[in-house]
């Protein structure tokens, strides 16, 4: 009985540890998207619909980049193509709820954020 209890506890511990590790991987894109959202929302007035769309688009953008680039031995040109393609998809996803001027503003804010991150 004691052995069965120990086995159950070990299995429970391993499943919790595995789930925690999986959450850490996906939370990186979500954390970056949240930081970007904070920068955008402090500089722009957005409706709640726009905020939801932007947050979803940012998470999708960062996850897509990470999935296609991280852990792969890609040339600089290949990475740049992936980033460009993801950026185009990101901008198209904003079209339904944002004006052209708002999209340009968001793009400018995100570019400034990236420049600050690269300096660190």
Residue 41 lies in a domain: yes
pLDDT tens readout for residues 3-61: 666 665 566 566 766 665 555 555 588 888 889 999 999 999 989 899 999 999 999 99
Residue 98 lies in a domain: yes
pLDDT of residue 115: 86
| Whole-structure pTM value | 0.72
Residue 1 lies in a domain: no
Residue 9 lies in a domain: no
pLDDT tens readout for residues 73-92: 889 999 999 999 999 999 99
DSSP assignments along the chain, one per residue: -HHHHHHHHHHHHHHHHHHHHHHHHHHHHHHHHHHHHHHHHHHS---HHHHHHHHHHHHHHHHHHHHHHTTS---HHHHHHHHHHHHHHHHHHHTTTS-HHHHHHHHHHHHHHHHHHHH-
Residue 15 lies in a domain: no
Question: Taking Cα atoms as reference points, which of 87, 102, 109 lies closest to residue 40?
Answer: 109
Burial of 57 (0-12, 13-18, 19+ CB in 10 A): buried
Binning pLDDT at 50, 70 and 90, where does residue 118 land? confident
Residue 76 lies in a domain: yes
| CA distance linking residue 60 with residue 80, whole number of Å | 17
Q: How many domains does the chain have?
A: 1
By residue range, what is the domain housing residue 60?
29-119
């Amino acid at each position: 009985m004691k052995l069965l209890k120990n086995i159950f506890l070990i299995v429970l511990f391993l499943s919790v540890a595995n789930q925690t590790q999986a959450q850490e991987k996906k939370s990186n894109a979500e954390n970056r998207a949240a930081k970007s959202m904070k920068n955008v929302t402090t500089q722009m007035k957005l409706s709640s619909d726009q905020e939801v769309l932007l947050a979803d688009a940012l998470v999708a953008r960062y996850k897509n980049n990470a999935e296609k680039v991280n852990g792969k031995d890609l040339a600089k040109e290949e990475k740049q193509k992936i980033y460009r393609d993801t950026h185009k998809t990101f901008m198209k996803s904003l079209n339904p709820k944002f004006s052209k001027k708002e999209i340009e503003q968001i793009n400018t804010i995100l570019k400034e954020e990236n420049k600050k991150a690269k300096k660190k």
